[in-house]
């Protein structure tokens, strides 16, 4: 008997490292409660109203079953869905990207300033070829600029479809606020010091 052919399954919440999913779930739960999406009397998260708000934000929302799996730390949203959740909650996008593990502590040093855009990063990289730098210095600067470009790409709005977003890249310009890096660090400290 031959083995049955593999069957494609419908898109499901991104299954990744359990620790990242649990960290995201803890942060998401705190933010939901802070924004009135937790019923003290029933001790449950009010995901149906949050789904409606998400749907108003992008026209599609995120399935309630997926939202539940995020809160429970069983699954991790894609970067695009983490941005949508952040925008709907009025939280900095980097906050949820960071707790989901799309941004790391090493990225904070390269967090883009207000004048940095994807176009200026590419221009800076091209300009490096003309400067009299040692190969090691040039390589280090290019690496740092590429990290900043990756962060900008994560922060930028992408096409609604997650697969398309990953292949085509950002479609909207993202300009960081002047003190966004400091605000992100403050919000992370505030988030983790919140009662669970």
Q: How large is the average pLDDT for residues 18-45?
A: 92
Average pLDDT, the chain: 83
187 class by beta-carbon count within 10 Å (0-12 exposed, 13-18 middle, 19+ buried): middle
Give the C-alpha separation, 32 to 50, whole Å: 8
Task: Look at residue 196 in the predicted model and tell me its pLDDT.
Answer: 59
State the pTM of this model: 0.78
Lowest mean per-residue pLDDT among 48-62, 64-78, 93-107, 180-194: 180-194
> Which residue in 18, 32, 15, 167 sits closest to 96, CA to CA?
32
């Amino acid at each position: 008997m031959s083995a049955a052919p593999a069957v494609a399954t419908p898109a499901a919440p991104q299954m990744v490292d359990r620790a990242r999913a649990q960290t995201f779930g803890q942060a998401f739960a705190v933010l939901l409660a802070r924004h009135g999406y937790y019923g003290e009397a029933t001790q449950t998260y009010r995901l149906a109203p949050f789904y409606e708000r998400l749907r108003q934000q992008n026209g599609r929302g995120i399935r309630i079953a997926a939202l539940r799996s995020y809160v429970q730390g069983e699954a991790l949203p894609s970067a695009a869905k983490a941005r949508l959740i952040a925008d709907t909650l009025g939280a900095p996008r980097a906050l949820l990207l960071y707790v989901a593990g799309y941004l790391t502590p090493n990225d904070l040093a390269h967090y883009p300033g207000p004048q940095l855009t994807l176009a200026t990063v590419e221009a800076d990289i091209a300009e490096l070829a003309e400067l009299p730098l040692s190969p090691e210095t040039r390589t280090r600067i290019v690496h740092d600029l590429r990290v900043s470009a990756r962060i900008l790409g994560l922060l930028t709005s992408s096409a609604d479809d997650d697969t398309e977003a990953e292949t085509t890249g950002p479609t909207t310009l993202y300009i960081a606020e002047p003190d966004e890096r400091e605000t992100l660090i403050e919000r992370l400290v505030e988030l983790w010091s919140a009662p669970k």
